[in-house]
Amino acid sequence: MTRLSRLRAREFGVELGSMETGRHNAITDVDGVGVGHSTLIEGDSVRTGVTAIAPHAGDLTEDKVIAAVDLFNAYGKSTGLPQVIYEGVLETPIMLTETLNTWRVADAVVDYNRERMGLDSRSLNVVVGETNGDYLTDNKGRHIGVKHVFEALDFARSPAGRGMVQEGNVGGGTPMTGYGFKGGIGTSSRVGDSFTIGALVQLNCGSKEDLMISGVPVGREITLPSEPTISSGNSIMMIIATDLAVDSRQLWKMAKRAALGLARTGTYSSNGSGDFTIAFTSGKKHHTKHGDDFLNPVYKATVEATEEAIVNALFAAETMTGYEGHIRYAIPLEQLIEIFGRYGRDFSSR
C-alpha cells in the first residue's frame, strides 16, 4: 500500500486553477480527515477494493458531522444518501467500492462499529458510494467483505490515514476507468483565507474523445494501443470536505459546484453515469447569521479541487489487465507532454 511512483498532475506542471493547495494536496489537508484503502488484486479476475473517508477518527454516531449531498445524476446504488439530505449529518465514514459490493460493505460497517468501536447501534445510516468496475474485475463475485472494510476503516482512522493519500488503482478505485483510460482514486485540496477544501474522487466516467485537461482536448489527441470500447460502468463519486463552519444548506450549495469541476474535464454526464457529491465539514462551530457571499472563494476552491482530483486519478492510475483479459491503459504521459506543447502549455519544463 505504499506506491506513489507516478508524478501527480501538479508535479508534472499541469495548471488547474489558481488557488493554493494544502500541504498534501489531498482531502486529508482538512483537519481530522483520514483516508484508508483496502485493495484486492488476486489472480486474473479480481481487481477491486474499498476506500474509507473518515471525517474524524472518533465515534461518528455520537459526534456527527454536518453534511450534504448533491445528486447531479443519480444513476447509482449508493446507500444512506436520503437521510443525509434530510438530517444534514453523517454518522458513519463514507465508503467507496464497486457496485455489486455496495451492500456487503454497508453491512460490514455495522460489524466494524460493534467490533472495533464498541458500539451497539440498533440503527445506523451507513453511507456507501459505488461505481461499476465490471470491465476489469469479476464484480459478480462480490469479493469485498468484512476484513477489507475493517482494513480501510482502521487505516482511515489511524494517524497514517491523515497524511498522504494513495491514488490510482487503489481501494474502491482499483478497477475503475476514466475517460477510457485507467481511472480510480484521485484527490486534491485548496486553501483559502481561513478555510481548507479537500476533494477525493472515485473516477469511473467519461468517454475518451471528451477528455480535457486544463482546457486541452487531450482525449482525442492521444492514441492508445487499442481504442477503449464502452464499458457498462460510467460514474463518479465526489467527496468534498471542509473545515468551514457552515450549515447543511451551504454545504449542499458547495457540493453542487463539484459538478462544475467535473465538467471542466469534458464529460457531458452520460445517462448511466452516477455523478454524486457528498460534502461534509469538520468545522465545529456554526457560522454567524449573514448572507452566503462569503462562499464564493469556497465554491471556486471546490471546482478547482474536484477538477484536479480527477486529473490526479488519471495521472496516478497505471495500466491494468483484468477480468476476461480486458485492459485499460494508463494515460500516456509522454504523449501528454507533446500535446500540451502543441497547445501552448509547455508544462514539461517546470
Q: Write out the catalytic residue numbers.
A: 235, 273, 275
Given the complex with a second copy, which of 210 and 318 has the nearer CB atom?
Answer: 210
Which helix (H) or strand (E) segment holds residue 107: the answer is helix 102-115
Reduce the DSSP state of residue 318 to 3 states and report it: coil
Residue 80 vs 172, nearer CB to a second copy: 80
C-beta closer to a second copy: residue 342 or 350: 342
Tell me the C-alpha distance between 23 and 29, whole Å.
Answer: 6
Please give the full DSSP string across 116-131, using - where no structure is assigned.
Answer: TT----S----EEEEE
Judged by CB, which is closer to a second copy: 296, or 321?
A: 296
Q: How far is the CB of 297 from a second copy (least distance, A)?
A: 9
Shortest Å distance, C-beta 269 to a second copy:
6
Q: How far is the CB of 174 from a second copy (least distance, A)?
A: 16
The number of residues making up the chain comes to 350
Q: Smallest distance, Å, CB 56 to a second copy? A: 13
| Chain centroid to CA 256 | 15
- Nearer to a second copy (CB atom), residue 182 or residue 345: 345
C-alpha dist (Å) from residue 312 to 186, 249, 281: 5, 29, 23
User: Minimum distance between the CB of residue 122 and a second copy, rounded to whole angstroms?
Assistant: 4
The SS3 assignment for 328 reads: strand
Rounded to the nearest whole angstrom, what is the least distance from the CB of residue 263 to a second copy in the complex?
A: 3
Comparison of 153 and 212: residue with beta carbon closer to a second copy: 212
**CA separation for the pair 200, 186 (Å, rounded):** 6
* Cα dihedral sign, 311-315-319-322: negative
- CA distances for 244 relative to 43, 116, 195, 279, 289, angstroms: 45, 29, 6, 11, 14
Q: How many CB atoms lie within 10 A of CB 159?
A: 8
Distance between CA atoms of residues 217 and 343, nearest Å: 9
Amino acid at 52: A
- CA dist 176 and 179 (Å) reads 10
Q: Is 210 exposed, middle or buried (0-12, 13-18, 19+ CB in 10 A)?
A: middle
